[in-house]
Structure 1
Amino acid sequence: MAGLVEASGAALAAALVDASRTAGAADPAVRGADWRTSTVTAVPGDGTVAVGTIRARCVDSYSGPAVGDQVVISQSGTGNWIALGRLSTGTLGIGQAAFARKLVSTTRASAPTTSADPHLVIPVGANATYEISGLIVYNSTGVTGDAKLSITGPAGSSGWWGTYAPSTSATAEPSTVRPLAQDLVTERTYGAGWSTAHGILLIHGLIVTAATAGTAAVNWCQAVSDAAGLTFYSNSYMSLTRRA
């Protein structure tokens, strides 16, 4: 009989320990503060995100939350949850910027077909919106070839780009510009070829990617084949800021 009582007491003690552990795991007052990684399942639009059954308030730096975001959420000892922000996905987060600079000058001659500049290329993610800007310093030893330019994104991308750049009629230090807007991929020509000064292309635009990730790039060449080369100079640059 004594053995049976001892066995029953041990089983009861074990059951009580298990029950207390289960209750403590569900009670933040017992468990204390907690943090974890999770996936956003809903965005109510009131400054919070839903992560399954958990509702967490976003910190100010976590802007533009979206369903599917991988986030860090944290709980206080009193049970309140906050969403600290997105985890890295390998591409820019909303509000983050990337920068590309020409490390050396590039010269192209006798080849009037655009291709991506070897330096002015930046990776972009799928289903995202990017603001693009940049400055390109360029010139040619002749005035016949001029310059042809386009801005491209991955397959399916849309958007606009434009420049303030010398017009194709410029044959000396330029006094007129060609401030035209065009959609992605569309190519425009600009003047080149001055002995006393370099020209500049001021780039502004927006790239909205579709379901395919890839790169945003500055594409260029001569507008007309000419043995006198067109040069894009070192320290020209482009930058992308993700907006959505």
Structure 2
Amino acid sequence: MSMVEASGAALAAALVTAAQTAGAADPSVRGSDWRTGTVTAVPGDGTVAVGVIQARCLDSYSGPAVGDQVVISQSGAGNWVALGRLSTSMLGIGQAAFARKTVSTTRTSTATATADPHLVIPVGANAAYEISGLIMYNSTALTGDAKMSITGPTGSSGSWGTYSPSTSATAEPSTVRPIAQDLGTERTYGAGWSTAHGIFLIHGLIVTSATAGTASVNWSQAAADPAGLTFYLNSYMSLTRRA
């Protein structure tokens, strides 16, 4: 092959490569397209950047964040739209998780609060979760009462509260203790009635930092006592991701 022929072949190959590259970026050549990608920037104007692609979010894709794994789609006219997040092992915004006690749990002679074996739900990093729940509980005596807290992974912040009888309660109806506290703060409540169980109506918010982990209901007796404290079957908690 002569030098002219070799140069012509190289030029032809280069033109083919250039045409392929241009066609891949030109919707008039390629037509419509969809793909997955990672959000690299959120300008705050209703769009997200996925690398060099700027895509407008659907209304259903709320709270976009850098690092989201998303589906984006392009029309034949070249416009990009972000359809939403792909499913992960953690909750997406607006999704909820539920935990229920499948058996009752009794703790005796301990004032060291630990996580309930059933009321534990995984949470992701850099997210906010709304907490709600209802716990039915009682003790076989008034002495021990109850102690409880809501906890999250290391670095989490937030607050929680409940409506439940105070430690001075000896019968129903009685004084309730609607006190707000920081995430992880323990509070004591009354327990020990013969005619009815007490309830914790839980509400709150967990805001995680860079560490994923679990949200849990931690509890024990307020004072160690041989009369057991029980959290009953079908007590439950739920978390809904809000951000």
Given the two structures, how large is their TM-score scaled by the length of structure 2? 0.91
Residue identity in the other structure for 2:183: L
Q: Deviations over 1:106-152 (max 9, x none)?
A: 11111111000000001111121111111001111111111100111
Which residue of structure 1 aligns with residue 189 of structure 2?
A: 190
Which residue of structure 1 aligns with residue 96 of structure 2?
A: 97
Q: Give, in whole Å, the separation in 1 of the partners of 2:204 and 2:170.
A: 27
Which residue of structure 1 aligns with residue 149 of structure 2?
A: 150
Which residue of structure 2 aligns with residue 112 of structure 1?
A: 111
Which residue of structure 2 aligns with residue 46 of structure 1?
A: 45
Residue identity in the other structure for 1:94: I
Q: The residue matched to 1:215 in structure 2 has which SS?
A: strand
Structure 2: give runs of 5+ residues left out of the alignment. Answer: none
Which residue of structure 2 aligns with residue 60 of structure 1?
A: 59
Structure 1: give runs of 5+ residues left out of the alignment. Answer: 1-5
Q: How many angstroms does 1:212 deviate by? A: 1.3
Q: Give, in whole Å, the separation in 2 of the partners of 1:25 and 1:159.
A: 47
Q: Give, in whole Å, the separation in 2 of the partners of 1:36 and 1:139.
A: 55
Residue identity in the other structure for 1:195: S
Residue identity in the other structure for 2:239: L
Q: The residue matched to 1:91 in structure 2 has which SS?
A: coil
Classify 1:11/1:45 alpha carbon distance in 2 versus 1 (closer, same or farther; 3 Å): closer
Q: How many angstroms does 1:63 deviate by? A: 0.5
Which residue of structure 1 aligns with residue 218 of structure 2?
A: 219
Q: The residue matched to 1:21 in structure 2 has which SS?
A: helix
Please tell me the root mean square deviation across aligned C-alpha atoms, in Å. Answer: 2.2
Classify 1:7/1:217 alpha carbon distance in 2 versus 1 (closer, same or farther; 3 Å): closer
Q: How many angstroms does 1:28 deviate by? A: 1.0
Percent of pairs with identical residues: 85
Q: How many angstroms does 1:171 deviate by? A: 1.2
Residue identity in the other structure for 1:54: I
Classify 1:208/1:10 alpha carbon distance in 2 versus 1 (closer, same or farther; 3 Å): closer
Residue identity in the other structure for 2:137: Y
Runs of 4+ in 1 over 3 A off after TM superposition: 6-23
Residue identity in the other structure for 1:119: H
Which residue of structure 1 aligns with residue 71 of structure 2?
A: 72
